[in-house]
Structure 1
């Protein structure tokens, strides 16, 4: 039984995604409190780390991210693991589609490793994390994203140890990417 009761939900913005103001009652320490919070609903997503054991390399992407630019990232570009919103797909179908669109690799086997809320104080999104091996034979297009989505994605193939080092230097600042690289290191994914 939940100790939370939604009293009102107001849509503040429904432009790119949906921003809601939620008024609710919550039972805390025997007292019923009324609180308001804003929640940004952008849908759920999936992300993947592509790795090659033989070459000891990973596939990452680089793209412009406006929110980072307005919050101090001088170039606005981030190095990231491939990712995308589920839309109407399940997480596995989504990540297969996004991998091909963004990186140009048509992967055959994906492994789901965990799920995580990425910013639970304000964003509803759950992100599904995957890993998959790739080979040069799986490269079917140049990747780079979809033109109709105004994507301009650079595909990077990096030595795994270099990618790990880029966390320490600050060249990789994206949370999902850091989580995937650390998962690969902790689980000896590249052997």
Structure 2
């Protein structure tokens, strides 16, 4: 809904998701003395929230300018790179993503790490939930890797990135996502070397997935010289 259509829904009366005060976010920011927020306008509040914020910004030469930015707030998210260190494989998802399809992707069938919004959970709990729903994997120990903003010019979302081992035994469900949310997700198991090659070919073009695969190659489970559990106790 837009504010023109719904009056003050999401501001002083509940919107479709029961939210109010959506125009208050950002008004109390004090961390940067060179930024003074003057106004926050709720532009749209359907499932996620679009705001237009007006603020004064002190430039490097000391002068102040009045600026305006629109921000898209969909909440924070989490993702996990699932890897099998013995077989040197990774477990990814493939699903249709309309935004990439409309912006030049050949068919919109996007390969990426399992991911989802936090929806009120802490990042670790959220990604355990998503790995179970999307891939049918029960995640054991999680390794926090980094948290990143992937589109800081307009999208507020911070993505908490994890890595975790998996095995045939940890794949206890069918996955596929939640049908009630319209999800139709396929599991894609590929050799780690193949996944790296697919970055070069463009078959893997998702930012969070590329970051995690590169981390795995440079500092993670597939870094040069790392001994896999299968060979750790073997003799030369």
**Class of the TM-score when normalised by the shorter of the 2 chains:** over 0.9
Structure 1 segment 3-152 matched on structure 2, within 5 A: 3-28=34-59, 29-152=61-184
4+ residue segments displaced more than 3 Å = none
Q: Which structure has more strand as a fraction of its residues? A: 1
- State the alpha-carbon separation in 1 of the partners of residues 180 and 201 from structure 2: 34
Give 1:188 shift: 4.5
Partner-residue secondary structure (3-state), 1:121: coil
Larger radius of gyration: 2
Structure 1, gaps ≥5 residues long: none
TM-score by length of 1: 0.98
Superposed CA RMSD in Å reads 0.9
TM-score by length of 2: 0.79
Structure 2, gaps ≥5 residues long: 1-31, 227-236
- State the alpha-carbon separation in 1 of the partners of residues 42 and 109 from structure 2: 31
Deviations 1:27-75 (A, max 9, x none): 1121111100000001000011000011100000000001011101121
- State the alpha-carbon separation in 1 of the partners of residues 167 and 186 from structure 2: 18
- State the alpha-carbon separation in 2 of the partners of residues 40 and 118 from structure 1: 13
Give 1:152 shift: 0.3
